[in-house]
Amino acid sequence: MRQTWVTPGGVHPPENKLQSLTQPIGSLPIPEKLVVPLGQHIGAPAIACVSVGDKVLKGQKIADPAGTVSAAIHAPTSGIISAIESRPVAHSSGMAALCVEITSDGDDKWIEKLGISDFEHTSASALLSIITDAGIAGMGGAGFPTAVKLNPGFQRPIDTLIINATECEPYITADDSLIRERAEEIIEGIRILSHILGNPHNILIGIEDNKPEAIEALAPHTQDTGINVVSFPTKYPSGGEKQLIYILTGKELPSGQIPADIGMVCVNIGTTHAIKRAVVDGEPLVSRVTTMTGEACEINRNYDVLIGTPVEHMLEHNNFDAQSCSRVIMGGPMMGFSLTSKQIPIVKTTNCILAPSVEEIPHNEAAQPCIRCGMCAEACPVSLLPQQLLWYSQAEDHERLEAHNLFDCIECGACSYVCPSNIPLVQHYRSSKSDIKKAQEEKVKSTQARERFEFRKQRIELAEKEREAKRAARREAAKQAQASTGTDAMADIVAAAQARAAAKTTSPEQELAKLQRAVSSAEMRVEKAQVKLDSALENAEPTEKINILSAALSGAQQKLEKAKVRLAEHSN
């Protein structure tokens, strides 16, 4: 048996996993409308490549990645694009973001699938391109684009591939059920990952010992493969990336570094399965296994859910009792967040919809003052000091928050779970992280603005010095000329000036032609201004832009009138 290491802190909340594992993974009826957010991942939201009214097939790309750290989005079923607009999305703030709405035609017709069975003879770059085109992002955490994580341009070779099958949070069993039913596909996904990373020396599947059926399902498919299934005692939050790396290898990931910096890559089990489906079956990421659980639902089960399915649709098909429900949570009870609307859609990172009864998870009690018991520090898996972080957060002391490694906090909720004063510690930390990031962005903008101002000031000063040097040179030359030629030189200067003035005098015919050209030019400017204004009105541009164009047209018309008056005066 492979050695494992014990992480500091952690808690043992009630697991509540068995109720959703009594049935195999199910499927739901296709919703009439699916709402697909364009930002389901870390990085820039994807850019829609379809228009309202377009017909799409299941698996067809509907949004392209917007840069390197982004992910493509695909139609989860066949139908018609009925809207592209801002809708509430899966976020703790309940914010809205751009989404593509698809009205299903009921056919669920796929695009042509082009899989690769012989992936071992396919280059890593070609496989990464397939993963990118399939829109795969991390399905167990924040949704980091997988192809970016697997990019082979590492400073050191990858010697350890870790597959995260921990699923340590209470209630959630999506990965557990996936392993039980699709272990062979998962192993094939691991082989694809290994090939992309240059066949790492160590391939480890980290899984808690509370999943014996899943461990048993993996066993026959990992024999003589070099893939090691490593089980370890159940403790929350063992599924954090840093925690799992330490448990399996005994190595600590330094603050501010990523696993690749120490020769490791960590991939979620669901993401691994999605990679197999993309490469071998030619299917982009359009669905995921999601746990539907909680006492407010009569049916607790895992479902293969289409991305974009409204949460309300899932609740309705599980006999949801709204009267007994304390809140609807996306995610688990530790790291999830309460939904502000049941119309919010399932996204690539949605592993659970939890609908607990009031008795199961009571409403939040009012926070009391900190009693300095120290239980939060004992529970912290990152060995932080939650009390100090709370005080500095309340004082908005950003400097001390950073000095106390606020950004090492994984927001697992262990500190809030053990707090006898019911202080929502993680909420304070999230808010402070957001404030610090905003302040850093503003500081960067301020620095850039100051640098631009200083550069402009230097440029103006340099130009003024050059002009002054030229003026001084001309004065010196004039003095020398006067000293050598006397009064004759002055007379020559006066004569030259008179000649230049005479040359500027134009005949009446030349003046008339000049005024006529001015009128023609003014008429062209009026015509162009009118065209721009008409176009803005036709396209319903913002009022501010229309006002600017109207003012420009008015100014052009005034200049035209003045030009015509001067021409008329000259003609008379």
- Please compute Rg for the chain using Cα positions: 34
- Return the pLDDT at 94: 80
Could you tell me the residue ranges of all domains in the chain? 18-354, 375-435, 437-503, 508-571
Q: How confident is the model at residue 370 (pLDDT cuts 50, 70, 90)?
A: very high
Q: Is 0.95 topped by the overall pTM?
A: no
Whether the per-residue pLDDT at 99 is higher than 90: the answer is yes
What is the CB neighbour count within 10 angstroms for residue 402? 14
End-to-end Cα, the chain, rounded Å: 109
- The proportion of the chain whose per-residue pLDDT surpasses 70, expressed as a percent, equals 95
- The CA distance from 72 to 425, in Å, is 35
Q: 93: burial class by Cβ within 10 Å (0-12, 13-18, 19+)?
A: exposed
Reported as a pLDDT band with limits 50, 70 and 90, residue 123 is very high
The answer to whether the beta carbons of residues 390 and 419 sit under 8 Å apart is no
**Residue pointed to by tokens 């130009």:** 463
Coil, strand or helix at 460: helix
Q: What is the pLDDT of residues 487-537, one digit of tens each?
A: 555 666 677 777 666 666 666 777 788 888 888 888 898 898 888 888 887
Distance from C-alpha of 309 to C-alpha of 344, rounded to nearest angstrom: 8
What pLDDT does residue 512 have?
81
At 299-344, the pLDDT tens digits run 999 999 999 999 999 999 999 999 999 999 999 999 999 999 999 9
The pLDDT of residue 153 = 67
**Which token pair is 47?**
């850019």
Query: For residue 152, is pLDDT > 60?
Result: no
What average pLDDT score do residues 391-416 get?
A: 94
The residue-averaged pLDDT of 28-33 equals 97
Among 8-22, 43-57, 120-134, 523-537, the minimum mean pLDDT is found in 523-537
Backbone angles phi, psi at 483, to 5 degrees: -65, -35
SS3 382: coil
Q: Which residues of 462-494 are buried (b: 16+ CB within 10 A; e: fewer)?
A: eeeeeeeeeeeeeeeeeeeeeeeeeeeeeeeee
* Beta strands in 92-191, from DSSP E residues, in sequence order: 96-104, 160-164
CB 231 within 8 A of CB 208: yes
Tell me if residue 88 falls in helix, strand or coil: strand
Please tell me the total number of residues recorded for the chain in this structure. 572
Do β-strands 61-64 and 47-48 pair in parallel, antiparallel, or remain unpaired? antiparallel
According to the model, what pLDDT value does residue 569 have? 81
Going by pLDDT thresholds of 50, 70 and 90, the confidence category of residue 486 is low
pLDDT at residue 479, as a whole number: 82
Percent of the chain at pLDDT above 90? 73
Q: Which residue has the tokens 């921990």?
A: 166
Contact 115, 280 (CB under 8 A): yes
Would you state the pLDDT for residue 306? 98
CATH number for 18-354: choose from 3.40.190.10, 1.20.210.10, 3.40.50.11540, 3.10.105.10: 3.40.50.11540
